[in-house]
Amino acid sequence: MEYKPTIGLEVHVELKTRTKMFCDSLNDADEKKPNKNTCPVCLGHPGTLPVPNKEAIKHVIRVGLALGGKINPVTKFDRKNYFYPDLPKGYQISQYDQPLVTGGNLLGIKIRRIHLEEDTGTLVHAQGSSLVDFNRAGMPLMELVTEPDITSAEEAADFGRELQLILRYLGVSDADMEKGHMRLEANVSLNMGTKVEIKNINSFKAARDATLYELERQEELLRDGKDVAHETRGWDEAKQITVSQRSKEEAHDYRYFPEPDIPPFETVAFEPDILARELPELPAAKRTRFIQEYKIDEGQSAVLISSPKLAEYFEESVSELKEMERDASASLLANYLINDVRAVAVENGVSLEQSHVNPEHLAHLVVLIIREKITSRQAKDMLEKIFQSDVDPEDILKDESYYAISDSGELDVIVQDVFAENSQAVADYKKGKIQSLQFLVGKAMGKLKGKGNPEVLRELFMEYLKKK
Ligand code: ADP
Ligand code: MG
């Protein structure tokens, strides 16, 4: 018997808005002081009235449009009733049978629905007692549910990554898994049998590992003729196993009913047509366009589009480059950005995204390399300088003091050594292989540990080669 994985995801996303979902309290995920951003509405005081946040509704519509879903003409909020100390009202305002969005598709996986609800508070367990922080209570929370179309653990993680990227491109959420802006639950079964819901997944790697573990655990049970229990399990990151949390036999009846304080409403009021026109270029389209337009490979494109800021930076820099050297290779620039700029950034403890190397300066640097004014080793040194003080590489080159050794007498000794050691390159040059000159300059630069002035070196080599 073959066991085919059937996996569905439920994804919760904290939306980026100024205020909370139904009140004026600030929506600030970074607030450290407990219970600072609260008011009678999000604390669930009797007699208060919820007023839906328009920006949050627009965000969900944007996501629906980006994923090709149907924006339902009429939508409504419902009360989901249950008791838990982090839920001050005793119910959560959510959406039940008329979500904002129905359908859609991402990476070939069908989306069942996308709806809007409010987040709960957080419990802080300290010194034998539990405290409640309501800063998060009432924050706008989007929930996306897929059909059980996913057929491997890898595919589940890929779906999460691509969704995260789209959310960032749309600007609707920072979607940081580690910070809990984006939370995944995986529903896992084999051949659409009894499903297990896995919670406590804090990264895409954990999504993959937990799903893989669960698929293997279920297959083993079935092979032994045992049943898979219908339950919720938690991912134990340290032990790399899933552990039973609660049986679905104890499943709640939430007694959903329409939220009486918010009447059903028409989505046309949020101008979905305009929102559709204003959608940015999405990651998949950008990925393909970069490959075609800039003649870079898939791997380079994937890295460059991994953040909207980085993609924008690359395009700006390429456009500067093409202005100076029409036929310059964008792929060379992409490589410098992905490898060298990143290396310098990492050495300095920031991400590539946070590096402040001006796109124009990077383009200048690449031009200097193309025109063979500097060696790749010097380019690395320059990059470090540009990174530190955002200077133009042209200015660095003009500044003689940049090169420890510009004195031709001193360089002359090195040039003679290089000639003596590389007679083949000299012969090649005389046969017309002009690249050999750059090779010789490179050798001299190696001896000088990158500290020679390449202009002076070139001149010296040329002078001697003419005489030879
Ligand atoms: P529940 O009522 O238990 O919450 P739903 O039908 O609402 O279940 O589905 C929740 C999630 O579980 C969805 O992502 C759905 O695709 C997925 N799912 C449903 N049935 C299965 C199954 N047999 N195996 C795996 N995932 C499933
Ligand atoms: Mg569910």
Q: Relative to the CA of 145, which ligand 1 atom is closest? A: 14
Condensed to tens digits (0 to 9), the pLDDT of residues 426-462 reads 888 888 887 788 888 888 878 877 777 777 788 888 8
The mean per-residue pLDDT over the stretch 183-201 comes to: 97
For residue 25, the tally of other CB atoms under 10 A from its CB is 22
Atom of ligand 1 nearest to the CA of 188: 25
Q: Where are the domains of the chain?
A: 5-277, 283-400, 408-467
Ligand 1, residue 187: give the atom nearest the CA. Answer: 26
Residue 365 sits at φ, ψ, to 5 deg, of -60, -45
Are 66 and 279 in contact by the 8 Å Cβ rule? The answer is: yes
Tell which one of 3, 110, 187 to mutate to probe ligand 1, the residue whose CB is within 8 A of the most ligand atoms: 187
Reported as a single tens digit per residue, the pLDDT across 31-79 is: 999 999 999 999 999 999 999 999 999 999 999 999 999 999 999 999 9
Burial class, 35, CB count within 10 angstroms (exposed 0-12 / middle 13-18 / buried 19+): middle
CA of 232 to the centre of ligand 2 (A): 11
Ligand 1 center from residue 243 Cα (angstroms): 19
Query: How far does the centroid of ligand 1 lie from the alpha carbon of residue 87, in Å?
Result: 24
Residue appearing with tokens 């955002």: 390
Alpha carbon 165 to its chain's center: 5
Identify which of 97, 120, 142, 118 has the alpha carbon closest to the alpha carbon of residue 51: 118
CATH no. for 408-467: 1.10.10.410
Q: Which of 365, 299, 287 is nearest to 333 (CA)?
A: 365
What's residue 401's pLDDT?
53
Q: Does the beta carbon of 413 sit less than 6 angstroms from any atom of ligand 1?
A: no
Q: Tell me the CA–centroid distance for residue 145 and ligand 1, in Å.
A: 9
Candidates 143, 194, 195, 246: which one to mutate for ligand 1, based on the most atoms within 8 Å of Cβ? 195
- Residue 416, pLDDT score: 84
Q: How far is the CA of 149 from the centre of ligand 1 (A)?
A: 10
pTM to 2 decimal places: 0.85
| 408 pLDDT above the threshold of 90 | no
Round the average pLDDT of the chain to a whole number and report it: 92
